[in-house]
Amino acid sequence: MYAYFLKLDYFSTECTYSPEAFRGTARSLIKDLEALRPSSILDIIRSGEDFVLKGDVVEKLPEQGTCERCGYMSSRSVCKACVLVEGLERGLPRLGIGDKGERRVRKGDEEAHVRPKKVVPSAALIDF
């Protein structure tokens, strides 16, 4: 709506992955609950407002700061959105996915973390 009213260029097509997204399942559940009991949405909101974290949990939470690039709130020096955009601009679309650029690979019953391989062009392939 923001882009529409400011007459900005935007894509209005739905993401191809959205049918499998979990948010659709959660949305359907909440709508079904609302059909059975109209006050269910307000009850969910109220329970979130009454939610209290214990002291030892609060100490483990990351401190909220701001992103060095865009200024939006982030628990890291550079927010995930800026990391993803940087990855797309550099031709590394998986840069911001996973923990510290790692990808998870399953080996047997345990999960191993594998650093992505750096692609270094060979001097024979470079045109001077």
Q: Mind listing the pLDDT tens digit for each residue in 81-127?
A: 898 888 888 888 777 776 554 444 444 444 444 444 444 444 444 44
Q: How many CB atoms lie within 10 A of CB 86?
A: 14
Q: Flag whether 2 is in a domain.
A: no
This prediction has a pTM of: 0.38
43 and 88 share a domain? Answer: no
Q: Which of 1-10, 68-77, 84-93 has the highest mean pLDDT?
A: 68-77
Residues 72 and 107 grouped into a single domain? yes
33, part of any domain: yes
Residue 91 in domain: yes
The residue among 65, 87, 89, 94 whose CA lies nearest residue 77 is: 65
Amino acid at 108: G
33 Cβ partners below 8 Å, 6+ apart?
40, 41
Q: Which of 43-47, 58-62, 69-73 has the lowest mean pLDDT?
A: 58-62
**Residues 69 and 109 grouped into a single domain:** yes
Expressed as residue numbers, the domain containing 42 is 18-53
Please tell me whether residues 94 and 69 are part of one structural domain.
yes
In a domain, 4, yes or no: no
The count of domains in the chain is: 2
